[in-house]
Amino acid sequence: MSDVSPHALAGTHKAAFGPQAGWGAGDFAEYLTDPKTLVIGTEKCFVLVRLAGPEAEILTLATHPDIQRQGRATAVLRDALRHLKAVNVEEVFLDVSDQNTAARALYARCGFTGFALRNNYYKNGTTAICMKAVLSPASPA
């Protein structure tokens, strides 16, 4: 995305996750200055990804409530995974609340599987499910 506004991203994030859990514009401004961080999508539906060699981490995925349940998050996540595969990322990791059934279903549809739990990970005490998607096999040694 070009000319993305940290304020617009923060607005969508807070609308999607609530004012207590949503990230602020300062958080997004910091990520946008990091050359290893990508924002894929629109200001109303986006995924924020950090690259780390052959791996990537989905930091957050947010869809504004006004446009949820229209398949946009699925499309944005699939676009992100295609882009990551094209730049030779082999595995993509994320954490999702065990209470967030919609996000868990989205990630499963896009090929993510759970591999670990982090109890009491989030501020509200919920457990994080660590998930990953394998985009391409590791090169043989």
Confidence (pLDDT) at 65: 93
Average pLDDT value over all residues in the chain: 91
Domain ranges of the chain: 6-134
In this predicted structure, the answer to whether residue 20 has a pLDDT above a threshold of 70 is: yes
Confidence (pLDDT) at 3: 74
What number is the average pLDDT over the span 107-122?
A: 94
Q: Which CATH number applies to 6-134: 1.10.10.10, 3.40.50.720, 3.40.630.30, 3.30.1540.20? A: 3.40.630.30
Distance, in Å, from the CA atom of 73 to the CA atom of 45, rounded to the nearest integer, reads 6
Confidence (pLDDT) at 1: 52
What 8-state DSSP symbol labels residue 48? Answer: E
Confidence (pLDDT) at 115: 94
In this predicted structure, the answer to whether residue 132 has a pLDDT above a threshold of 80 is: yes
- Taking only the tens place, the pLDDT of each residue in 57-98 is 999 999 999 998 899 999 999 999 999 999 999 999 999 999
Backbone φ, ψ for residue 64 (5° rounding)? -60, 135
51, 38 Cβ separation under 8 angstroms: yes
Rg (CA), the chain: 15
Nearest CA among 108, 109, 110, 104 for reference residue 135 = 110
